[in-house]
């Protein structure tokens, strides 16, 4: 990773889409930070398309798509995309990945039982009731905060049972379908905005913080991380090109300011 200040002006000029993780990328200790929310508005007003890409639930995504200054949101690690059309009255659109499998699947129930029995302190995330497709096991959102080794043990149980699993900064997300944050992000951007794979790769800046962001780090040449990504040095194989010097939402704001500062001024929208 190199400092975000070293992004070239021509790369910054070519960016059209800002994709970002939410937990510990825009938030710190579970709170959306003033610096990151202001940065979202600054990027939006500069005409960039904003799309949070998160492991958070369908229920959260409904709120984000309707209330935040964004052009869509991808949730449950790629199971769904929600966006609002605002041509006249606001109209919420919902797209579900064709490979998404509802979370009442018996394998997920077996995994849930095994995790609760075999990993002391593990519990279902409190936003589980608002999820359609994944099982979220909380290891660090609330007390007791478990180790990353415990999170890895949960992931390995899920994979041994035939599910997919990713470790975020707070949850282990577990699901049955063949999708991830990356596949749904590409599907959404091409369908909604006509983004083209390959030719459009450098139009995307993705910002994340943890191992469940790795498919995005590996895929996009202008991917960035906030400084807290270094907590996961032992778990990450594919690092992004750029890093902020600051953590969480302050790191996101640093990336936004660097990007906007390198672009020619435009009339605000």
Site residues (vs Mg ion, CB under 5 A): 21, 23-24, 168-169, 209-210
Three-class SS state of 45? helix
Distance in angstroms (rounded) separating the CA atoms of residues 109 and 96:
22
The answer to whether 197 touches 230, Cβ cutoff 8 Å, is no
Nearer to Mg ion, 189 or 248 (CB): 248
Distance in angstroms (rounded) separating the CA atoms of residues 86 and 31:
28
Nearer to Mg ion, 177 or 211 (CB): 211
Q: Which residue is nearest to Mg ion (CB)?
A: 23
What are the tokens at 112? Answer: 């849930």
Q: Around 155, how many Cα atoms within 13 Å sit in the side-chain half-sphere?
A: 18
Nearer to Mg ion, 62 or 247 (CB): 247
The answer to whether 169 touches 200, Cβ cutoff 8 Å, is no
Shortest CB 264 distance to Mg ion, Å:
32
Three-class SS state of 69? coil
Shortest CB 169 distance to Mg ion, Å:
4
Nearest to 246 by CA among 206, 207, 203: 207
Nearer to Mg ion, 12 or 164 (CB): 164
Nearer to Mg ion, 72 or 211 (CB): 211
How far the first Cα of the chain sits from its last, in Å, is: 32
Shortest CB 170 distance to Mg ion, Å:
7
Shortest CB 55 distance to Mg ion, Å:
8
Shortest CB 112 distance to Mg ion, Å:
22
The answer to whether 181 touches 211, Cβ cutoff 8 Å, is no
């Amino acid at each position: 990773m190199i400092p975000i200040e070293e992004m070239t002006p021509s790369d910054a000029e070519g960016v059209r889409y800002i994709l970002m993780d939410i937990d510990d990328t825009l938030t710190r200790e579970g709170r959306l930070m003033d610096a990151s929310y202001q940065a979202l508005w600054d990027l939006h007003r500069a005409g960039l398309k904003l799309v949070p890409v998160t492991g958070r639930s369908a229920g959260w995504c409904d709120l984000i798509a309707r209330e935040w200054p964004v052009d869509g949101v991808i949730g449950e690690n790629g199971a769904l995309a929600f966006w609002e059309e605002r041509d006249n009255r606001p109209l919420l659109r919902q797209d579900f990945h064709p490979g998404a499998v509802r979370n009442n699947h018996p394998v997920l129930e077996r995994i849930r039982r095994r995790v609760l029995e075999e990993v002391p302190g593990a519990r279902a995330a409190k936003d589980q009731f608002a999820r359609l497709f994944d099982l979220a096991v909380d290891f660090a959102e609330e007390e007791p905060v478990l180790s990353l080794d415990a999170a890895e043990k949960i992931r390995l149980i899920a994979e041994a049972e035939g599910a997919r699993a990713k470790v975020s900064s707070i949850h282990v997300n577990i699901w049955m379908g063949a999708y991830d944050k990356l596949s749904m992000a590409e599907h959404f951007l091409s369908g909604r905005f006509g983004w083209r794979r390959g030719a459009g790769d450098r139009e995307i800046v993705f910002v994340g913080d943890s191992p469940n962001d790795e498919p995005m780090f590996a895929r996009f040449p202008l991917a960035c991380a906030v400084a807290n990504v270094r907590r996961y040095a032992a778990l990450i194989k594919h690092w992004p090109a750029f890093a902020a010097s600051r953590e969480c939402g302050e790191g996101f704001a640093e990336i936004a300011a660097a990007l906007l500062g390198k672009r020619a001024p435009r009339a605000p929208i």
